[in-house]
Amino acid sequence: MEFKIAVLQGDGIGPEITNAAISVLDAVAIKFGHKFNYRFPLIGGAAIDRDGVPLPQSTIDECKSSQAVLLGAVGGPKWDNLPGHLRPEKGLLGIRNALGLYANIRPALLHSELKGASPLKNEITKNGIDLVVVRELIGGIYFGERGLRNSPNGKQAYDTEAYSVKEVERIARIAFDLAKNRRRKVTSVDKANVLDSSKLWRTTVAKVAESFPDVQLENMFVDNAAMQLVRDPSQFDVILTSNMFGDILSDEAAMITGSIGLLPSSSLGDSKCGLFEPIHGSAPDIAGKDAANPIATILSAAMLLVTSLDLPAEATAVENAVKRVLSKGWRTPDIYSTGSKKATCSKMGELIALEVLNA
């Protein structure tokens, strides 16, 4: 079959990690008889340098006419002093909004080969970590009314957390659907003891849960969830939460599995075209050195295959190839330990591509 994929390489290590992912996708194409047509529109700093804006309209159009979008990362010191609306990160918020991507899905899996990389004690990780954070992505406090006003105490700044029933329903359905094919448990995280928006969140999630009788629903306050994640992460299957709480908890969930270079994510809306990206940033400190870990991007490409292109066998082939390369002892510098075999970013891509071809 033939597919069109927009590859937003971005800045810093973005081109290196997306090139490694493309070498794996090319191997999938050969092995399974597909054709992937890549387009490379600009985003972030690269787009600012060429067009003066972080998200040119041509990039939005190219993404909208593709079946899936693979993103590297955006940003870097070169653009840090630009005004807020011209920062590379605005490109990221803009493309999520333009594609209506309201659900951010971040699996956090502790690979058995990399147990030692977790900062948690062995007795905590002995039951494994295999959870997914489902974060609402285009609502809540990051998009609510904000501003400056006068108060009796002088100048005051405010941001507003607001959620409609419809916004909560659609993200909750994604979480329950996901849980159906996993361990069938959703933990909805909120602050319903304080916030009205969380009270509405909780009652709406409970209503959605009625349509999923096989999935257990548990409610947890966000402060407790932050604590439980480091106390016993194995209790979680799918964590469903709002934009800001998800932003914070998903970084915590990523950290407890070891390297930031290993974790993929997808952002989904109502259309099949999703955006798939590693959870890390553009790592300017190692950019251009062929030292980045491309596995998070390669696993994001696997999510792209199953979610947007309906190619589950191909996705599994990529995931298995990653496991085999790790179990053969290959490591990029971020996860290297004495006795392992050293791989650069491009070498890691080649090794995983070879495993796909030779499986």
Buried b (16+ CB within 10 A) or exposed e, 182-216: eeebbbbbbbbeebebbebbbebbeebbeebeebe
- From the list 16, 23, 18, the residue with the least C-alpha distance to 8 is 18
Distances from the Cα of 134 to the Cα of 20, 239, 240, 254, 309, angstroms? 27, 6, 5, 13, 21
232 is catalytic: no
In terms of CB distance, is 260 or 357 closer to ligand NAD? 260
Binders of ligand NAD in range 252-271 (CB under 6 A): 260-261
Annotated catalytic residue within 247, 290, 323, 336? 247
Residue 192 binds ligand NAD (CB under 6 A): no
53 Cβ contact partners less than 8 Å away, ≥ 6 residues apart: 47, 86
Chain-centroid distance, C-alpha 95: 14
Residue 293 binds ligand NAD (CB under 6 A): yes
Q: Which of 227, 285, 289, 337 binds ligand NAD (CB under 6 A)?
A: 285
Q: Which of 48, 286, 305, 309 binds ligand NAD (CB under 6 A)?
A: 286
247 is catalytic: yes
The size of the interface with ligand NAD (CB under 6 A), counted in residues, is 21
CA distance 314 to 33: 11
Annotated catalytic residue within 159, 223, 270, 310? 223
289 Cβ contact partners less than 8 Å away, ≥ 6 residues apart: none
347 is catalytic: no
User: Which of these ranges, 106-114, 125-133, 217-225, 280-288, lies near ligand NAD under the rule CB under 6 A?
Assistant: 280-288
Looking at the DSSP bridge assignments, the partners of residue 37 are 4
Residue 74 binds ligand NAD (CB under 6 A): yes
Q: Which of 190, 237, 334, 355 binds ligand NAD (CB under 6 A)?
A: 334
Site for ligand NAD, rule CB under 6 A:
17, 73-76, 89, 92, 260-261, 277, 280-286, 292-293, 296, 334
| Residues involved in catalysis | 142, 191, 223, 247, 251
